[in-house]
Amino acid sequence: MRADQILHPTEAGLYCPPGDFHIDPIRPVPRALITHGHGDHARAGHGAVMATRQTLEIMAIRYGADFTETRQVAEGPIRVGDTTVSFHPAGHILGSAQIAVQPDKGPKIVVSGDYCRRPNLVCAPYEPVPCDIFVTEATFGLPVFRHPDPLQEMARLRASMAEFPERQHLIGAYALGKAQRVISLARQAGIDGPIAIHGALQRLCDYHVEQGIDLGELIPATAADVPAQLVIAPPSAFASAWVQRFRDPVIGFASGWMQVRARARQRGVELPLVISDHVDWPQVTQTIRELAPSEVWITHGNEDGLMRWCQLHQIAARPLRLVGYEDEPE
């Protein structure tokens, strides 16, 4: 069977005819395999969902227990139609996985979803999965994206907190994954005091703690007076009146995009922190070299840059131009 008969883009997302399932579909389908819990990959309303236990639990927290009719925890190789699928850690957020699809006849395809190769204490590390066709994101698919060591960024946060001890530091971070990663990094960097979190982060932080991830002392940032110098909130909170309880805060934002000054300025932040859950340019190109697949498919992001790199290195590549996936979703 040809590769594009095993997996191809449709309006609902990537579809696998021999297994009769979609991967990360953007609209309701009878059977969905889901890489991770971010809103643009994991949506409610499918007939059946297969994902890691943690992704299923995160979806239940975000959408309610009835987010799908039936669910199945992905563990070990599983037969789906005329294929065998397996889930492997992607190093992106808690529960995130790559999905390997092995048809009974034809090439093995690995859909990596969003992935990251930098050490991250809030999730299992990325695991290289040998394959014939590697499906990759290209969120940061330009050679300007070389994300620094996140602990170096934390040192900048600490320096600012020391330079402005009377000002609270409000750091914007997406609610699932990034927020917990920033808190975990802050702990690694030696920020020991209580960290305040916006109400929208509470349940997801609680869940991380239940899963054995140490986030230290967290207090709610809901009272009129928040007794913590470091406060973490989702980006949407910064446009709301919630911010007004802080007098003269330093506003920061944790994202891989903060590496580009124009992007940081657009956000109006005073302290841009370059912290990403996605592969940067050296990581994505190294991964492709390491896996040496016969073909690379690029789902979304800056695919032109990665396409050009593949061309220069004589690696067969094609863009899938999937729509509906955001750069770094909330």
Partner 1 sequence: MKAFANLLERLAFTAARNAKLRILRHYLEQTPDPDRGFALAALTGDLKLRAVTPKLLRGLMAERVDEQLFALSYDFVGDLAETIALIWDGDQDDDVPLRDAVALLSDTGRAGLPAAISAMLDRLGPSERLAFLKLATGNMRVGLSARMARMALAEMGDPQVKDLEEIWHGLTPPYQPLFDWIAGGARPEHAAKAPFRPVMLSTPVDLDQLRALDPADHVAEWKWDGIRVQAVNDDGVRRLYSRTGEDISGSFPDVIEALNFDGAVDGELLVRRGANVAPFGDLQKRLGRKVVGKAMLESHPAGLRVYDLMIWQGRDLRDMPHQDRRAILQQADFGSDRIDVSPLLDFATWDDLAALRADPPSIVIEGVMIKRRDSAYVGGRPRGPWFKWKRDPMVIDAVMLYAQRGHGKRSGFYSDFTFGLWDGDVLVPVGKAYFGFTDEELRELDRVVRNNTTERFGPVRSVAPKLVLEVAFEGLNASARHKSGVAMRFPRISRIRWDKPAPEADRLETLKAMIP
Q: Exactly one of 66, 76, 268, 314 binds partner 1 (CB under 8 A); which one?
A: 268
Query: What does 266 interact with, of Zn ion, partner 1, none (CB < 5 to 8 A by kind)?
Result: partner 1
Q: Exactly one of 20, 82, 132, 270 binds partner 1 (CB under 8 A); which one?
A: 270
| 251 near partner 1, rule: CB under 8 A | yes
Q: How far apart are the first and last CA of the chain?
A: 38
Helices 178-188 and 150-163 sit at what angle, rounded to 10 degrees? 70
CA angle 135, 97, 44 (to 5 degrees): 95
Element (H, E) at 230: strand 230-233
Closest approach of partner 1 to the CB of residue 243, in Å = 3
| 321 near partner 1, rule: CB under 8 A | no
Which is nearer to partner 1, 191 or 310 (by Cβ)? 310
Query: Residue 185: which region, alpha, beta or left (left: phi > 0; alpha: psi -120 to 50)?
Result: alpha
Q: Exactly one of 80, 142, 213, 320 binds partner 1 (CB under 8 A); which one?
A: 142
Whole-angstrom Cα distance, residue 230 to residue 219? Answer: 10
| 238 near partner 1, rule: CB under 8 A | yes
* The pair of three-digit structure tokens given for residue 288, joined into one six-digit string: 């492709």
| 253 near partner 1, rule: CB under 8 A | no
Element (H, E) at 89: strand 83-89
Binding site for Zn ion (CB under 5 A): 38, 114, 325
Q: Exactly one of 243, 318, 329, 330 binds partner 1 (CB under 8 A); which one?
A: 243
Question: In this chain, which stretch among 75-83, 97-105, 141-149, 288-296 interacts with partner 1, using CB under 8 A?
Answer: 141-149
Q: Exactly one of 79, 146, 203, 289 binds partner 1 (CB under 8 A); which one?
A: 146
Long-range contacts of 78-87 (CB under 8 A, 24+ apart): 78/50, 80/19, 80/20, 80/21, 80/31, 80/33, 80/50, 81/16, 81/18, 81/19, 81/20, 81/21, 82/18, 82/19, 83/6, 83/16, 83/18, 83/19, 85/19, 85/33, 85/50, 87/51, 87/52
Which is nearer to Zn ion, 249 or 256 (by Cβ)? 256
Query: What does 249 interact with, of partner 1, Zn ion, none (CB < 5 to 8 A by kind)?
Result: partner 1
Q: Exactly one of 65, 66, 76, 239 binds partner 1 (CB under 8 A); which one?
A: 239
Tokens 């990759």 belong to which residue?
136
Interface with partner 1 (CB under 8 A): 142-146, 148, 156, 159-160, 163-164, 170, 238-244, 246-249, 251, 259-262, 264-272, 302, 304-305, 308-309, 312
